Amino acid sequence: MSAMELGKRFRCERLKDRIMPAETAALLVEDGDTVAVSGFTPSGCPKAVPLALAQQVRSGQRKLRLGLLSGASTGEEIDSAWAELGMIARRLPYMTSKALRSAVNGGGVEPVAYTDCHLGMVAQNARYGFYGKIQVAIIEAAAITEDGNLIPTTAVGCSQTWIDLADKVIVELNLRQPAELEGFHDIYRVQDPPLRQPIPLTSAAQRIGEPWLRCPVEKIAAVVISDLPEKPRPLAPEDEVSKRIAGNIVAFLKNEKAAGRLSADVCPLQSGVGSVANAVLLGLKDSDFEHLCFFSEVMQDGILDLIDAGKADMASATSLSLSEAGMARMLGKLEDYRGKILLRDSEISNSAEVIRRLGVIAMNTAVEADIYGNVNSSQMNGTSVYNGIGGSGDYARNSAVSIFMTNSVAKNGKISSIVPMVTHVDHCEHDVDVIVTEQGYADLRGLSPKERAVRIIENCAHPDYRPQLRAYFEAACAATNGAQTPHLLDRCFCFHEQMKKTGSMRIDNEE
Amino acid sequence: MSAMELGKRFRCERLKDRIMPAETAALLVEDGDTVAVSGFTPSGCPKAVPLALAQQVRSGQRKLRLGLLSGASTGEEIDSAWAELGMIARRLPYMTSKALRSAVNGGGVEPVAYTDCHLGMVAQNARYGFYGKIQVAIIEAAAITEDGNLIPTTAVGCSQTWIDLADKVIVELNLRQPAELEGFHDIYRVQDPPLRQPIPLTSAAQRIGEPWLRCPVEKIAAVVISDLPEKPRPLAPEDEVSKRIAGNIVAFLKNEKAAGRLSADVCPLQSGVGSVANAVLLGLKDSDFEHLCFFSEVMQDGILDLIDAGKADMASATSLSLSEAGMARMLGKLEDYRGKILLRDSEISNSAEVIRRLGVIAMNTAVEADIYGNVNSSQMNGTSVYNGIGGSGDYARNSAVSIFMTNSVAKNGKISSIVPMVTHVDHCEHDVDVIVTEQGYADLRGLSPKERAVRIIENCAHPDYRPQLRAYFEAACAATNGAQTPHLLDRCFCFHEQMKKTGSMRIDNEE
């Protein structure tokens, strides 16, 4: 890194005296502080200062119990490193770290009070004062402008709100992140009531903000020059089941277009991460949809494929959740993607207002769905949280069409993803339009719960579980005299109880 | 009614030849049709044509099985009359009729496929084609303009969308509704993606639309002159428990203001119907809040009191849900309320975009809430729907602060409204900020589920049920090793099972 190259990135003379090593900057964080970090998923998170904090605790130099706020999950350098050391007292809004998950569910060295949140509401709730004071914001930047404003890196998340609320800001100027990311961001500051105005976004491609995070120079307490690589999540492998789910989703989308309803080449798509989401993108590549457009919170490799193939015009997200190969590919020809990829605040990518206005077609993953169309996205046996609800509620509730997808079975067929009653509801029956498994899809729009049950059991459940599900439904209908949503409260979790007893939800010799 | 008075109301010459008796207009509705009606709650619904249809079926002249769409519930002339005769094959989005409720839950002469919906999404979903074709719209009007446009009466609901989608429109020009209602409505047509624009509303008092429903003259197949009175719902009586709940809500609101968070005199309030809602309004009248403002779906008597007392500046709603006395009082001095009361499309009153922008403080009623903050608004024992979710989800999800209120016990203490797990989730833990009972309030913002449990049990549950709830929570924590949301799936409905067995949720000699 030449001095000239650093000068191009670090353009604010007034901040030159605030350069310090990560270890020194880390001392600005005090025990009991609430720390807010840039990024959304592992992308765009600070790395050097969080690792220095962890090292100070690991070495016994300091004791720290912190509140930790971020846009979504963070990189291993924060959630995992801190959770392993018992440094996290309070955490929101989302996680993917195994160590943190274990701590949140009671298996850590110290308890973690975890608040699972709609990602689109985190920044607003913080500004409204629901999460208390924020002492320190740690923001990763690709560059610092002449005025001290910050160019984000591979994600935006809630960074602008963290800067606005924090007493002091630590900037990690990460020289490993390409300087060419400048111009890929569109930062829009949402005002609060009673002054809030309409968010002027009317198409996924529109710019409504500025390319930087506004940050008063006097708030910046430290600038740490770092050179740490991001550790992207590996791309989920393609498998046969995912391909079949994707095929069913594409079939549904084609049918919508044929029926003259909202079409995937008119309305933007929301697409998450994981093998099914990626398989859907591949399926769309081979479909005859043209001019696709994405309005999502994360962007994974398949969207690059669609843009490269000329099938997609653009993608708006708050985070690049690319694989290592995908990130290298994108960064290798960043100029080709300029104007085709826009990274926004998660308050915009996950905005109820914008999602509903654009008519987004939402595709989210269910952990389990019940026969009446309620979806659990987050909790195993209603008890142990896996990752969290994430942005799925922002999209499912406000989309034009809300699709949930899941394998019909898990653990070699021992678990049915379609159950009589879900053990935790993240998305109520009113927020679920279509359920898709590798078996088929159930279009639930305009149906009563009892009509939905038939469609979900016959179209989505694995054939091995259909007899058990039919038996429950028929018994519940009989016992409740055909009420609106027939349930037997002493048997509604019979699948889960069976699993607990025998290691499988399957009842042999049923029917 | 003089000819001159009729002429003032019926100003469209081209429609004069389409006047006909209700019985003749009713013949325009055919068996199997989907009929969409004006109104929201009993207010603003057509009366003469629905009654004529019922009479034709009752007398054996015709057989009719219909789909029925409306803004919310309807008057007795539709939901009750039609349900009693088995005329409703399919119904959405909401109900309050006892006869319809019975039919929906399997106790009618014919089954009813009932789809419970977020009221703010009904019009959009209909336009998107999710509910199929609409053959006939029946719209109550206070006047017909020169161009054939319609002045609504005491509610707006989804009337504009029904007119836009229906093959033909029957207008009930109801001379019993005051002509002076003209000017109280603000009708805004929401376009659909990809053309949808920001809804320009930035304050509850702002006008963004027109005072009439646009209706092409050629679409109007019949004009029925009617003179039938509306049957408003009686005002729920004040009781001591409601007053105590209201007192706790006002205490919470005062505390928010004192803490410098969003204040009830800056943010509009959403307030529903019922004794508690009315008690809250009375409580606000005696508070030191000034310049209150309401952004709600319904408006009940207490808001008139607040306006009269100079405590509230204005109220925006989609429906006047006033008592007979309240309606008479308002209609008696309509000019005093001009500009202070605005009736909007339910797509606006219940708009996610607008509710979030304005920072509405939402107050909704729970049937039951669980110790982790999930709320059931609609289903008894997870099985029998009472009214439906209504607009509670539109407000709870998008409000600045989402308050749910309920008596801590029902049926003389035999039912606890706070339970280990709700039997149906309308509002997930992520959508519930505060739970209020007559015992106190639990502020859940930023808390983990286990922290919420302690607060809900200790602040909101009835003291008689606290030992049982604590016992469940402690057992669940122990058995799950302190997981995120400790539950015992074989015991989580123990309160409901106990009720079924003994007629009370109470376990005597507990602790």
Contact between A428 and B429 using a beta-carbon 8 Å cutoff = no
- Sign of the C-alpha dihedral, residues B71, B74, B77, B79? positive
B460, B462, B468, B473: CA torsion to nearest 10: 0
Rounded to 5 degrees, what are φ and ψ at A507? Answer: -105, 115
**Does residue B437 sit in helix, strand or coil?**
strand
CB nearest A489 (choices: B398, B428, B493) = B493
Chain B nearest-CA residue for A200 = B198
Chain A contacts of B483, Cβ < 8 Å? 105-106, 383-385
Q: Please state which CATH number belongs to domain A240-502.
A: 3.40.1080.10
Nearest-Cα distance to chain B for A483, in Å, is: 4
Cα–Cα distance between B504 and B420 in angstroms, integer?
15
Nearest-Cα distance to chain B for A24, in Å, is: 31
Chain A contacts of B499, Cβ < 8 Å? none
Question: Which residue(s) pair with B140 in the sheet?
Answer: B172
Q: What is the 3-state secondary structure (H, E, C) of B328-370?
A: HHHHHCHHHHECCEEEEEHHHHCCHHHHHHHCCEEEEECCEEE
Chain B nearest-CA residue for A479 = B383
Contact between B483 and A199 using a beta-carbon 8 Å cutoff = no
Count of C-beta atoms within a 10 Å radius of residue A122: 28
CB nearest A485 (choices: B118, B359, B383) = B383
Q: Parallel, antiparallel, or unpaired for β B368-370 and B143-144?
A: unpaired
Chain A contacts of B424, Cβ < 8 Å? 485
Exposed/middle/buried for residue B332 (C-beta within 10 Å: 0-12, 13-18, 19+): exposed
Chain A nearest-CA residue for B68 = A446
B contact test, residue of A484, A485, A490, A501 with most B CBs within 10 A: A484
**Does residue B82 sit in helix, strand or coil?**
helix
The interface predicted TM-score of the complex, written ipTM, equals 0.97
Using the 8-state DSSP alphabet, how is residue A429 labeled? Answer: G
The residue count of chain A comes to 511
Cα–Cα distance between A451 and A457 in angstroms, integer?
10
- Which amino acid belongs to residue B22? A
pLDDT at A331: 84
CB nearest A483 (choices: B124, B384, B428) = B384
pLDDT at B1: 60
A438, A441, A442, A445: CA torsion to nearest 10: 140
Chain A nearest-CA residue for B383 = A485
Nearest-Cα distance to chain A for B199, in Å, is: 7
pLDDT at A510: 47
Contact between B115 and A448 using a beta-carbon 8 Å cutoff = yes
Chain B contacts of A359, Cβ < 8 Å? 192-194, 196
pLDDT at B509: 54
- Sign of the C-alpha dihedral, residues B356, B360, B366, B370? positive
Contact between A353 and B352 using a beta-carbon 8 Å cutoff = yes
Cα–Cα distance between A2 and A7 in angstroms, integer?
9
Nearest-Cα distance to chain A for B34, in Å, is: 13
Using the 8-state DSSP alphabet, how is residue A104 labeled? Answer: I
- Per the CB < 8 A criterion, the answer to whether B329 and B367 are in contact is no
Chain A nearest-CA residue for B482 = A106
CB nearest B485 (choices: A356, A379, A446) = A379
Cα–Cα distance between A484 and B380 in angstroms, integer?
10
Contact between B383 and A480 using a beta-carbon 8 Å cutoff = yes
Chain B contacts of A129, Cβ < 8 Å? 259-261
Cα–Cα distance between A283 and B4 in angstroms, integer?
67
Nearest-Cα distance to chain B for A112, in Å, is: 9
pLDDT at A509: 55
Catalytically active residues of A are 297
Q: Residue-wise pLDDT tens for chain B (511 aa)?
A: 677 889 999 999 999 999 999 999 999 999 999 999 999 999 999 999 999 999 999 999 999 999 999 999 999 999 999 999 999 999 999 999 999 999 999 999 999 999 999 999 999 999 999 999 999 999 999 999 999 999 999 999 999 999 999 999 999 999 999 999 999 999 999 999 999 999 999 999 999 999 999 999 999 999 999 999 998 877 777 899 999 999 999 999 999 999 999 998 889 999 988 888 889 999 999 998 999 999 999 998 999 999 999 999 999 999 998 888 998 899 889 899 999 999 999 999 999 999 999 999 999 999 999 999 999 999 999 999 999 999 999 999 999 999 999 999 999 999 999 999 999 999 999 999 999 999 999 999 999 999 999 999 999 999 999 999 999 999 999 999 999 999 999 999 999 999 999 999 999 754 4
Q: Which residue in this structure is represented by tokens 């015709």?
A: B62
Contact between B383 and A116 using a beta-carbon 8 Å cutoff = no
Pairs of CB atoms within 8 A across A/B: 244
What the block records as the tokens of A143 is 């560059």
Rounded to 5 degrees, what are φ and ψ at A496? Answer: -70, -35
Q: Parallel, antiparallel, or unpaired for β A434-437 and A312-317?
A: unpaired
Identify the active-site residue in B76, B77, B230, B297. B297
Using the 8-state DSSP alphabet, how is residue A121 labeled? Answer: G
Contact between B497 and A490 using a beta-carbon 8 Å cutoff = yes
- Which amino acid belongs to residue B436? V
- Sign of the C-alpha dihedral, residues A12, A15, A19, A24? negative
Contact between B384 and A352 using a beta-carbon 8 Å cutoff = no
Domain A3-226 belongs to what architecture?
3-Layer(aba) Sandwich (3.40)
Residue A286's alpha-carbon distances to A250, A282, B260, in angstroms, are 10, 7, 55
- Per the CB < 8 A criterion, the answer to whether A422 and A374 are in contact is yes
Strands (E), B21-76: 34-37, 66-69
Contact between B430 and A429 using a beta-carbon 8 Å cutoff = no
> Angle between the A324-332 and A301-308 helix axes, to the nearest 10 degrees?
40
Cα–Cα distance between B307 and B3 in angstroms, integer?
36
pLDDT at B381: 96
Low-confidence ranges of chain A (pLDDT < 50): 510-511
Cα–Cα distance between B345 and B197 in angstroms, integer?
16
**Could you please report the per-residue DSSP string of B161-212?**
HHHHH-SEEEEEEETTS-GGGTTSEEB-----TTS-------STT---SBSS
- Per the CB < 8 A criterion, the answer to whether B375 and B403 are in contact is no
**Does residue A394 sit in helix, strand or coil?**
helix
CB nearest B115 (choices: A385, A398, A447) = A447
Chain A contacts of B118, Cβ < 8 Å? 430
Chain A contacts of B455, Cβ < 8 Å? none
Cα–Cα distance between B470 and B459 in angstroms, integer?
12
> Does B140 qualify as catalytic in the annotation?
no
Chain A nearest-CA residue for B104 = A484
Nearest-Cα distance to chain B for A35, in Å, is: 15
**Could you please report the per-residue DSSP string of A48-96?**
HHHHHHHHHHHTTS----EEEE-SS---TTTHHHHHHTT-EEEEES---
Q: Which residue in this structure is represented by tokens 């996924």?
A: A204
Q: CATH 3.40.1080.10 region(s) of chain A?
A: 3-226, 240-502
**Does residue A239 sit in helix, strand or coil?**
coil
Chain A contacts of B356, Cβ < 8 Å? 124, 352-353
Contact between A385 and B485 using a beta-carbon 8 Å cutoff = yes
Rounded to 5 degrees, what are φ and ψ at A421? Answer: -140, 130
CB nearest B426 (choices: A428, A446, A496) = A428
Chain B contacts of A353, Cβ < 8 Å? 198, 352-353, 356-357
Cα–Cα distance between B503 and B411 in angstroms, integer?
10
